[in-house]
């Protein structure tokens, strides 16, 4: 009867150890998933800002007096307005959360003023963004992170020529 009692105790010990290991694996899996999501968030911020910068360079590099936004994202790969090859992006980057397609923010002239993810997922990062991304604070989903180039906003963030103080005095 003692041997039977020992086998039951050993069986319960093994079950307890397996339960602890499974709980640990679940925690590791959850931490890995969170780390992977943070990495995709960082990718989204990087890629979105690459698009915003490329749109700004396209807009500001418009020949002639009237500036215009690109009509499509593909125009950022090869500027059709220039006789030579001018590229603002090396390739069209996919949305880290939604695949190849991006949401498009339309410009007043009908062109592309910006991009945004189509993901409805809730972001992990909700505050402490860089100044260029300050509008993302408190966003409820990645689709609210809109990477838009606005000439007026760009003019506000560029330092104005300071007038020198009068000499003497």
User: What does each C-alpha distance from 85 to 20, 36, 89, 93, 150 come to in angstroms?
Assistant: 61, 37, 12, 20, 25
Question: What pLDDT is recorded for position 165?
Answer: 42
Q: What's the pLDDT at 84? A: 81
Question: What integer pLDDT is reported at residue 40 of this predicted model?
Answer: 93
Residue found under tokens 């300050």: 134
Residue 156: its pLDDT value, please?
60
Alpha carbon 6 to chain centroid, angstroms: 58
Span 4-17, pLDDT tens digits:
566 677 888 888 78
Domain assignments of the chain as residue spans, ordered by start: 14-153
> Cα(88)–Cα(130) distance, rounded to whole angstroms?
23
Spell out, as residue ranges, where the chain has pLDDT lower than 70: 1-7, 153-169
pLDDT, residue 100, reads 77
């Amino acid at each position: 009867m003692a041997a039977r009692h020992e086998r039951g105790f050993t069986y319960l010990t093994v079950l307890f150890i397996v339960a602890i290991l499974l709980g640990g694996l679940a925690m590791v899996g959850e931490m890995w998933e969170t780390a992977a999501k943070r990495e995709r968030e960082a990718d989204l911020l990087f890629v979105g800002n690459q698009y915003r910068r490329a749109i700004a360079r396209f807009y500001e590099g418009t020949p002639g007096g009237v500036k215009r936004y690109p009509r499509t994202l593909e125009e950022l790969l090869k500027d059709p307005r220039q006789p030579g090859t001018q590229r603002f992006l090396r390739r069209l980057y996919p949305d880290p959360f939604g695949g190849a397609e991006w949401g498009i923010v339309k410009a007043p002239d009908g062109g592309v003023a910006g991009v945004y993810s189509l993901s409805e997922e809730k972001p992990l990062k909700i505050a402490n963004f860089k100044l260029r991304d300050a509008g993302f604070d408190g966003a409820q989903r990645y689709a609210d992170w809109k990477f838009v180039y606005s000439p007026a906003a760009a003019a506000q963030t560029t330092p104005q020529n300071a007038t020198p103080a009068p000499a003497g005095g």
